Amino acid sequence: MSGNHIQVQNVNKVFQSADRNVIALQDINLSIPQGQFVCLLGPSGCGKSTLLNAIAGFSLPTSGSITTDSKVVTAPGPDRGMVFQEYALFPWMTVEKNIAFGLEIKGVAANEIATRVDALLHKLGLYDFRQRFPKDLSGGMRQRVAIARVLALDSPILLMDEPFGALDALTRRNLQDELLRIWSELGKTVIFVTHSIEEALYLADRIVVMTYRPGTVKRDMLVTLPRLRDPASADFNTLKRELGLLVMEEQQRHHDQEMIAAAVD
């Protein structure tokens, strides 16, 4: 086995509060080879972020184990970079400072930082915006900066939690295309959370559909459609319908559980 392989084994996650326990993840097993683009798909509340945060090391499983490159995840680490939906940029730093920040913290030499930041500014179409502050950028541009900032650290694994969820359709498609280009160029493993079936089908080598509470793997599907994919094609739409039924069942389960909870209260 070469490169950085992610193993999720028998992972459970229970959130305990005074009046109830929420089983957010139940018996999750996934083996993700280096370079695979995986989408975690499912309606809100099915544990996608919980699983991603566990892989990131922000919040550890209640039981089971997660390893990257055969090492148990116990905390965030330099092999994993995270991009959130809400651009977690420093508002008081320019675009280039935001991208450079992680490298400065690591003590990378100034000339090396300048070279890497320049390359990323070009790669993500940010060069003309390098002196701007986040407040003076569109949502799409901010998310480019967030991606550049994670790429600067060159971790083999990119974790993305609905990174394009707040963007309009056109900007979103542009960023999806950029991400695919970067992914095929750099060979990184990507675990990308989305509740959009179309987004998952457009991006992923593999789609892991999750169930609503407890979060389990409902379907683990390889997507072999050739890239760049055409969302108008017949094959794309056949898969879209198939996934649509799976996700709809979980939305229905969510709805039913809420009705039951409301009736008991």
Those residues whose C-beta lies under 8 Å from the C-beta of residue 99, and which sit 6 or more positions away, are 117, 120, 121, 145, 148, 149, 152
Residue 222's nearest CA partner among 239, 238, 234, 210 is 239
If one asks whether residue 45 binds ligand ADP (CB under 6 A), the answer comes out as yes
Residues in the chain: 265
Please tell me the distance from the alpha carbon of residue 219 to that of residue 168, in angstroms, as a whole number: 29
Is residue 252 within 8 Å of residue 62, measured between CB atoms? Answer: no
Q: Which is nearer to ligand ADP, 143 or 194 (CB)?
A: 194
Strand locations in the chain (E):
6-16, 21-32, 37-41, 63-68, 71-72, 80-83, 157-161, 189-194, 206-210, 217-222
CB-nearer residue toward Mg ion: 84 or 236: 84
Determine the Cα–Cα distance for residues 157 and 76; give it in Å rounded to an integer: 12
Identity of the residue, 125 or 165, whose beta carbon is nearer to ligand ADP in the bound complex: 165
Shortest distance (Å) from residue 48 CB to Mg ion: 5
**Whose CB is nearest to Mg ion?**
49
Residue 214 touches which member of Mg ion, ligand ADP, none, C-beta under 5-8 Å by kind: none
How many Å apart are CA 60 and CA 78, to the nearest integer? Answer: 17
188 binds, among Mg ion, ligand ADP, none (CB under 5 to 8 A by kind): none
Task: Give the C-alpha separation, 120 to 125, whole Å.
Answer: 8
Q: Does 218 participate in binding ligand ADP (rule CB under 6 A)?
A: no
Closer to ligand ADP at the Cβ: 38 or 120? 38
Residue 121 CB, shortest distance to ligand ADP, in Å, is 31
* Tokens of residue 44, six digits: 């809100």
Binding window for Mg ion (CB under 5 A); candidates: 45-53, 108-116, 150-158, 254-262: 45-53
Nearer to Mg ion among residue 49 and residue 155 (C-beta): 49
Q: What are phi and psi of 109, to 5 degrees?
A: -60, 145
Stretch that binds Mg ion, among 46-54, 56-64, 74-82, 205-213 (CB under 5 A): 46-54
Task: Tell whether residue 15 is a contact of ligand ADP (CB under 6 A).
Answer: yes
Q: Which of 4, 26, 49, 176 binds Mg ion (CB under 5 A)?
A: 49
Q: Does 36 bind ligand ADP (CB under 6 A)?
A: no
Q: How many residues bind ligand ADP (CB under 6 A)?
A: 12
Site residues, ligand ADP (CB under 6 A): 15, 22, 24, 42, 44-50, 213
